[in-house]
Amino acid sequence: MKIDLNESRQTVFAINASGLTNDTSAECELRNDIYGSEWHVKTVIISTNSPQTYGQSRFWLYLNVKTPGGIRDSTYLGDGSTSETDITMRASDKLIAHWDGADAGTYATITILGDKETGR
C-alpha cells in the first residue's frame, strides 16, 4: 500500500571549531526505520531563517554516508530551494542534510515529499 511521504526536520546553525562567526554548519537526518518499507522521495525543500549576513548558505544531501559517492543533491542556494529528485530509501536508510555558511543560531529546515510503500 502506498501512502504520502511528508517528513520534515529542523536544526540550528552552530559555529565550527575555527571559532569564526562565518564558519557555521547545521546537520540533521531523516531515517526510514520501518522494516519492509520503501520511501520514494520525489521533492526536497530546504530553507533557513538566516539573514544571510555572510551570503547564501550551501547545502548537500547525502544518502547513508557523508562521502562524495553519497551525495544525492547539492546547491549554493541553501537558504531556500526546491529540487525534484528520485531517491529510494529502504528500511534503515537515512538522508543526511548538511548546510554550511548561515548565521549562527539560525534555523535550517528540510522537507521531503513523495510516497511510502508500506509492504502491506
Count Cα atoms within 13 angstroms, Cβ side, for 114.
Answer: 19
pLDDT beyond 70 at 120: no
Contact predicate 108/26, CB 8 Å: yes
Domain 2-117 bears CATH identifier 2.60.120.1330: yes
Q: What is the mean pLDDT of residues 54-69?
A: 94
- Cα-Cα-Cα-Cα torsion 72, 75, 8, 53, nearest 10 degrees, comes to 150
Where are the domains positioned within the chain? 2-117
- Angle at CA of residue 92, ends 5 and 75, nearest 5°: 60
Question: In this predicted model, what pLDDT tens digit does every residue of 81-103 receive, in sequence order?
Answer: 999 999 999 999 999 999 999 99
Q: What is the mean pLDDT of residues 22-26?
A: 90
Contact predicate 60/71, CB 8 Å: yes
